[in-house]
Amino acid sequence: MTSPVEATLAYAEQFHQEDEILHAARQRGLEMGATPILPGGGAALCFLATAVNAKSVVEVGTGCGVSGLWLLRGMRSDGTLTSVDVEPEHQRLARQAFAEAGFSGGRVRLIAGRALDVLPRLSDGGYDLVFADAAKQEYADYLAESVRLLRVGGIVAFDNVLWHNRVADPAQRDPDTVSLRELGKLVQTDDRLRSVLIPLGDGLLAAIKIAD
């Protein structure tokens, strides 16, 4: 039997419906083993991008384009998404999804490579939003880079921070789960950030930069 909590979470997730373009990108991602953000988390990204009137966004983990589509739909019409991924084939499929959605090549800059090699080359304070959905054990390093990259008032967001219900269970001590717990502590104790944990999808942790 479904518990009231499970029913409520399912209702919240199903509140956000994907169109055919998003659905097709999701199917390609699943086929490639690039598990995309769930619709609730994607809708939250779109909301955040709209809320900060995002013109310049960095995405760590392109996948096959699902999260990028959500971000682009929330960004300004003259905005640019810079997306980093180690898998060129994933990025090829992401570019296909962006084209199907009507986003021109000028709206997206895809960079193939390790995020921790690419992010240090991006400009300090030059971005409105940074979203990370890649190697969980590197999330703390992504956070450090994100705070540098963001303008004051910009937002950093991380997917999978509930990690399939493992983070809330103290008995779970695998490296990814421990890294995600550590990320939460880092965000909570950073005086430059004001954060919120959104229990949509697999958990989205977002923080706004309130000071340099």
Q: What is the pLDDT of residues 164-190, one digit of tens each?
A: 999 999 999 999 999 999 999 999 999
Q: Give the span between the Cα atoms of 23 and 41, in whole angstroms.
A: 15
Q: What is the pLDDT of residues 197-212, one digit of tens each?
A: 999 999 999 999 999 9
What's the confidence (pLDDT) of residue 23? 97
Q: Is the pTM of this model over 0.85?
A: yes
Amino acid at 95: R
| Residue 59 Rama label (left phi>0; alpha psi -120 to 50; beta) | beta
